[in-house]
Amino acid sequence: MAGLTMTKNAVVTGAAGFIASHLVDLLLDKGFSVIGIDNLRTGSIQNLVEPLKNSNFQLLKEDICNKRFPDLVKEDIDVIFHLAAISSVLLSVENPILVNDTNVVGTVNVLEMARKHDVERFVLSSSAAVYGNPESLPVREETALNPLSPYAASKISAEMYSISYGNLYGMTPIIFRYFNVFGPRQENSEYSGVIPIFINQGLQNNDITIEGDGRQTRSFIFVNDVVEATYLGSQLNDASGQILNLSGTDSIRILDLARLIKNRIPDSTSNIVHRDAREGDVKDSIGSMERTSEVLGFSPTVPFESGLDRTASWYRSHLD
């Protein structure tokens, strides 16, 4: 494992979102001063109730696509965690221009902020979507990229811009390719991940809707593990151009996931039903964590079923 150095002032884009709000919690716990930036497109102030009580945290309600974005922050910045994005494959098929503006143009703006502030470390949250349907699983970082959706293309583009800024300005990017992340605060909408959708359908006694035959597989990683690894990456001494998977270690079929969730909500009268498969979705997805554990000395710690319990009870206590 490489040596660690301490950085103190962090900018977190997409701070009001699912993953970034947990990262803000962790950074504040570690004594960082954090500037969160979010336009509240899908993010929620509710996710930042605790940080907003902390004098080391400030929230800027701004859009990363704004032309004046690179000059927004006046304070020194040691590290930028860039998580703001539109993270829906479905929406990217429906509205590729919006997703390109946010995920590509927005990323260039955030990189420009990093350049102007001479930041030491730029951490990009990319996605396993960049691999498409790889020939062999678990997929390794050196696998050829194959975007199956505008979302995947936008994430590849964001990665390439980050690497180019690293090469030009020495800001040592580190790129995480997140697989399926789950946990409390994940948005529940038709554009979101499958776990909040199934849990909320179960809690509200609606049909649990599987897209396709349900034989597609995913590997889920709990959000606390994701933000811990993302933080560790930011502390590496030399991470230039480093690309790391963050994946769960087991695969589960979506059909089995639906059953597992239904069993967790014993009073639910929901039925499990099927509808058409989503365009642009991959068939199977699990990442190799070999490089990540070698570079970061990190492996996921939260077992899937206990993460699922924590997530289900969070949604239960946050039912509309």
Ligand X SMILES: NC(=O)c1ccc[n+]([C@@H]2O[C@H](COP(=O)([O-])OP(=O)(O)OC[C@H]3O[C@@H](n4cnc5c(N)ncnc54)[C@H](O)[C@@H]3O)[C@@H](O)[C@H]2O)c1
- Out of 10, 12, 17, 286, name the contact with ligand X by CB under 6 A: 17
Q: What is the DSSP letter of 199?
A: H
* Closest distance to ligand X from the beta carbon of 80 (Å): 13
Residue 152 binds ligand X, judged by CB under 6 A = no
Q: Which stretch binds ligand X (CB under 6 A): 4-12, 77-85, 159-167, 202-210?
A: 77-85
* H or E segment to which residue 98 belongs: helix 96-100
- Catalytic residue selected from 131, 151, 161, 315: 151
Q: Which stretch binds ligand X (CB under 6 A): 57-65, 142-150, 248-256, 264-272?
A: 57-65
Residues with Cβ within 8 Å of 313's Cβ and at least 6 positions away in sequence, in order, are: none
In one letter, which amino acid is 196?
Answer: P
Q: Which stretch binds ligand X (CB under 6 A): 39-47, 209-217, 255-263, 296-304?
A: 39-47
* Closest distance to ligand X from the beta carbon of 195 (Å): 9
* Closest distance to ligand X from the beta carbon of 42 (Å): 4
Query: Under rule CB under 6 A, how many of the chain's residues touch ligand X?
Result: 29
Kindly identify the residues of this chain, within the stretch 266-285, that bind ligand X according to CB under 6 A.
Answer: none
Closest to ligand X by CB, 30 vs 41, is 41
How far apart, in Å, are the Cα atoms of 299 and each of 213, 242, 243, 308?
31, 17, 16, 18
- Out of 36, 43, 147, 307, name the contact with ligand X by CB under 6 A: 43
Residues with Cβ within 8 Å of 297's Cβ and at least 6 positions away in sequence, in order, are: 1, 232
- Any bridge partners for residue 195, and if so which? none
Name which of 179, 144, 171, 175 is nearest 158 in CA terms. 175
In one letter, which amino acid is 163?
Answer: I
Q: What is the DSSP letter of 276?
A: P
262 contacts 272 by C-beta, under 8 angstroms? yes
* Closest distance to ligand X from the beta carbon of 266 (Å): 27
Which stretches of the chain bind ligand X, using CB under 6 A? 14, 16-20, 38-43, 63-65, 83-87, 102, 106, 125, 127, 178, 180-181, 187, 193
Residue positions annotated with a catalytic role: 151
